[in-house]
């Protein structure tokens, strides 16, 4: 990371002075929380939102991370919001508005002045309707403001020995389900089990997108050969069927972020 960018980040955090970090346990928020905590001259706490559509393994990872580095941490548990029960196309906006409103209330009650989060400089060009909610609520994004990229965050995290430096990107389980589809708790657990299984088989970061009773696996193109060869193919199909899927398919376009986003649909 360029010295100028790191100094700008430090300046931004010191200017804020007192804040909670919306801590998902991912690469960006882990770096942001760790760095703010290591500065020693700001008041900071990590706060993780727990909802039915966030995998339990992510919550556990966030808890383990903060325990390892002695960082103050809290978990806020929320029920499934009815406003996104049918996975509307503006789901991310509605969800962010609700989650970060809760975080603002939490911060105020605990005596913190601000809520900050880990959007980085690369995210500004992507389809991220949730960013509008952050602006409306005056949530700060120091990494984006300092111009720090995902690559730089991973490099810094590696140098600092953070276990998250090479963690695959993670998004909430609702991104695995088409818009305008009723969200049932059972399908969320099926997706979570399937993705944990694939990760344990060596397909880290693979997505299981759901179309009724069909599971569409997105993985890296370099993994195609392994995933379709027996006995690997047989183990994968048998396991996903036992989880509850009837049909198992491999997406030949490979993994891509937000493949259910409106902008990525092909006519």
Long-range contacts of 215-220 (CB under 8 A, 24+ apart): 215/240, 215/245, 215/247, 215/248, 215/249, 216/249, 216/250, 216/251, 217/248, 217/249, 217/250, 217/251, 218/251, 218/253, 218/254, 218/255, 218/256, 218/259, 219/250, 219/254, 219/255, 220/254, 220/255
Distance CA 220, CA 30 (A): 24
- For position 129, what pLDDT does the model report? 77
Mean pLDDT value across residues 45-69: 96
Q: pLDDT over 90 for what percent of the chain?
A: 87
Largest CA distance in the chain: 57
Q: Top-level CATH class of 173-264?
A: alpha beta
pLDDT, tens only, 149-206: 999 999 999 999 999 999 988 889 999 999 999 999 999 999 999 999 999 999 988 9
Determine the pLDDT at residue 125: 61
Is the pLDDT at 89 greater than 80, yes or no?
Answer: yes
The reported pLDDT for the residue numbered 127 is 63
pLDDT tens figures, 214-260: 999 999 999 999 999 999 999 999 999 999 999 999 999 999 876 77
Query: Taking a C-beta distance cutoff of 8 angstroms, is the pair 122, 149 a contact?
Result: yes
Residue 243: which of 174, 190, 198 has the closest Cα? 190
What are the start-end ranges of the H helices in 18-90? 27-39, 56-69
Q: Which fold, 3-160?
A: Rossmann fold (3.40.50)
- Please state, in angstroms and rounded to a whole number, the distance separating the CA atoms of residues 192 and 17: 37
pLDDT at 258: 67
DSSP 168: P
At 81, is the pLDDT very low, low, confident or very high (cuts 50, 70, 90)?
Answer: very high
Domain boundaries, the chain: 3-160, 173-264
pLDDT of 12 over the 60 cut = yes
Task: Name residue, tokens 């975080």.
Answer: 103
Residue 266 reports pLDDT greater than 60: no
pTM of the model: 0.90
């Amino acid at each position: 990371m360029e010295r100028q960018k790191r100094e700008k980040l430090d300046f931004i955090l010191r200017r804020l002075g007192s804040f909670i970090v919306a801590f998902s346990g991912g690469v960006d928020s882990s770096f942001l929380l760790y760095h703010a905590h290591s500065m020693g001259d700001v008041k900071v706490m990590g706060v993780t939102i727990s909802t039915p559509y966030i995998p339990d393994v992510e919550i556990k990872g966030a808890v383990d991370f903060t325990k390892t580095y002695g960082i103050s941490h809290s978990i806020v548990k929320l029920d499934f919001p009815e406003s996104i029960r049918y996975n509307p196309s503006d789901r991310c906006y509605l969800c962010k508005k609700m989650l970060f409103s809760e975080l603002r209330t939490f911060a105020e009650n605990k005596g913190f002045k601000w809520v900050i989060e880990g959007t980085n400089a690369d995210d500004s060009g992507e389809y991220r309707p949730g960013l509008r909610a952050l602006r409306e609520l005056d949530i700060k994004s120091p990494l984006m403001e300092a111009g720090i990229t995902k690559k730089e965050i991973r490099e810094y995290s590696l140098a600092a020995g953070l276990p998250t430096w090479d963690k695959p990107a993670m998004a909430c389980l609702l991104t695995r389900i088409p818009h305008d589809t009723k969200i049932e708790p059972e399908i969320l657990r099926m997706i979570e089990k399937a993705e944990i299984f694939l990760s344990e088989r060596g397909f880290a970061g693979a997505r299981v997108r759901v179309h009724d009773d069909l599971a569409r696996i997105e993985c890296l193109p370099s993994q195609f050969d392994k995933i379709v060869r027996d006995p690997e193919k047989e183990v994968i199909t048998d396991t996903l069927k036992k989880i509850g899927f009837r049909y198992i398919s491999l997406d030949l376009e490979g993994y891509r972020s937000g493949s259910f986003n409106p902008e990525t649909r092909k006519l």
